[in-house]
Amino acid sequence: MLKTSFLKPLLLGATIAAFAAGTASAQGIKRTPLQDIKYPAGHHIVTVVAEIGPNQLAGRHTHPGVDTGYVLDGEATLLVEGQPDKELKTGDSYAVPAGIPHDVKTGAKGLKLLAIYVVEDGKPVATPAPK
């Protein structure tokens, strides 16, 4: 165990708070932080479980690095600028390139996913994107 492990909850909490503030409709989205790892140099990898209620839009946004994940439960449509809409269901994975505006529209059951973000140090996990 790292001797700095006591700092991890503080850093992760700040990262998740910044992420929640950076998305257009953070209400109705529950994020459970799992870890924040410093890697590679100048970056960190943030892992969360995100839950979005039924029939919602997460809010159009971008990430400074790759956004990838795995659908734990539910269904949604991933709306990535410049790409065809992608239907997601339990067991599917996805990836959104850095800086590309995207949104998620949940279905009747809502969505629970494991999300992983690669973030440059000093940058927010997410930034709202114009429509």
Residue of 8, 81, 20, 21 lying closest to 51 (CA atoms): 20
Q: Give the pLDDT score at 70.
A: 98
pTM: 0.79
Alpha carbon 31 to chain centroid, angstroms: 9
Which residue bears the tokens 């950076």?
Answer: 22
Residue of 28, 16, 34 lying closest to 59 (CA atoms): 28
DSSP reduced 3-state for 21: helix
> Can you give the residue range of the structural domain that contains 50?
5-128
Q: What is the pLDDT along the chain (131 residues), one digit of tens a residue?
A: 344 343 444 344 444 444 444 443 455 789 999 999 999 899 999 999 999 999 999 999 999 999 999 999 999 999 999 999 999 999 999 999 999 999 999 999 999 999 999 999 999 999 999 88
Q: How many helices, marked H, and strands, marked E, lie in the chain?
A: 1, 8
- Which CATH number goes with the domain that contains 90? 2.60.120.10
Q: State both tokens at 80.
A: 């990535």
Q: Give the pLDDT score at 28.
A: 77
Q: How many domains does the chain have?
A: 1
Cα distances (angstroms) measured from residue 62 to each of 6, 9, 38, 67, 73 = 30, 24, 21, 9, 23
